[in-house]
Amino acid sequence: VRQLQKALPKRHIELAYGHGLPPANTSFWFQAICWAFLAVCVGFGIWRKMRRGKEPAIRKFIPPILFLLCVALMSLLRWLWPITTLALFPFNLLGLVPIALGLGVGFAGAMTFRRAKTNIRPFKEADKLVTSGPFRFTRNPMYLGLALVLTGVWLLLGALSPLLDIVIFVVV
């Protein structure tokens, strides 16, 4: 730790002591390396659990909880690490369009499941195969709706860094 303290400026020591997030006033490359290291650590943990035959912990998150975590992380990234501003005030309101579209698609998918009287829980076995409504066009309109809402939130925030959360949501 003492060698690390000598090698890094004081503002970088915060990361070395295990807070996990790089300070907001550091360089872009240092922050990129920190986030990449964090992603590799999380990926390695999931891989280890899968290798032991256990179900990864991330699968236990149901999509709405993962969605809310992504929205919170998007706001945090916008505040701590905006990278660059993409859209200022009047133009960032275009994010309301994908939000409305996503809510509509997700609601239509949920109502189609309800009309078919089938299970809506993501990790339970389905009761029936639904091929009507929005399921004619997409395999899972509820996930598509959540991804569209996240895209709208990203546009409303107007920064580049929250885009990382959309990628995380789609991959997980």
129-163: pLDDT as tens digits? 899 999 999 988 999 999 999 999 999 988 888 88
Q: Which long-range CB contacts under 8 A does 103-106 form with residues at least 24 apart?
A: 103/145, 103/149, 104/145, 105/134, 105/138, 105/141, 105/144, 105/145, 105/148, 106/141, 106/142, 106/144, 106/145, 106/146, 106/149
Q: What is the pLDDT of residue 155?
A: 92
3-state secondary structure of 159: strand
Euclidean distance between CA atoms 97 and 116, whole angstroms: 29
pLDDT at 11 over 60: no
For tokens 């990926």, the residue is: 43
- Give the predicted TM-score (pTM) of the model: 0.65
CA triple 166-131-124, angle to 5 deg: 65
